[in-house]
Amino acid sequence: MSSKENRENRKENGPPEAPLATGGPDLTQLVDANGANLAAFVKAGEAMLAGMTAIGQEMMQFATARVRDSMALSGSVMQCGDPNEAFRLECDFARDATRQYLDEATKLFGLAADVSQRSWAPIEDLTKANFDRINRR
């Protein structure tokens, strides 16, 4: 049959039907599994995005507070008439800033650990469910 005859036959009879798969894999299970995988990764991505947003906000708030404290120190030192008092103010500021930076680092590490846990949880849950399903077979 020529190419032209083949096209005319398709116009009259429609496209040829695909042969039915017998004994092949159940494609609905594959589609369902892929949908579950996609959903788990979407949830993981959403958790990561929310967590990174929280970390970013925390860093901005901390930086803003640090700049305000620094500006306040500058004003206090400039108004100070005694060099010993100025030195004490600077030392107090350095001590407080060190404590605040260490506290902030601890807080950020906690937030990062929470982000990691929340991001991996949907994938971990899906993997457990898949292993349970496999073990029931």
Calpha distance 133→137 (Å, rounded): 7
Question: In b/e form, how buried is each residue of 76-88, taking b as 16+ CB within 10 angstroms?
Answer: eeeeeeeeeebee
pTM, entire model: 0.69
pLDDT digits (tens, 9 = 90+) for 53-90: 999 999 999 999 999 999 999 999 999 889 999 999 99
Domain boundaries, the chain: 27-127
Highest mean pLDDT among 12-16, 18-22, 115-119: 115-119
Q: What angle do CA 100, 108, 115 make, to 5 degrees?
A: 165
What percent of the chain clears pLDDT 90, i.e. is strictly above it?
64
Q: What is the 3-state secondary structure (H, E, C) of the chain?
A: CCHHHHHHHHHHHCCCCCCCCCCCCCHHHHHHHHHHHHHHHHHHHHHHHHHHHHHHHHHHHHHHHHHHHHHHHHHHHHHCCCHHHHHHHHHHHHHHHHHHHHHHHHHHHHHHHHHHHHHHHHHHHHHHHHHHHHHHC
Return the SS3 of 119: helix
Whose structure tokens read 């030392």?
91
Provide the mean pLDDT of the chain: 86
pLDDT of residue 45: 95
Mean pLDDT of all residues in 85-100: 97
Dig out the tokens for 131 from the structure: 């292993």
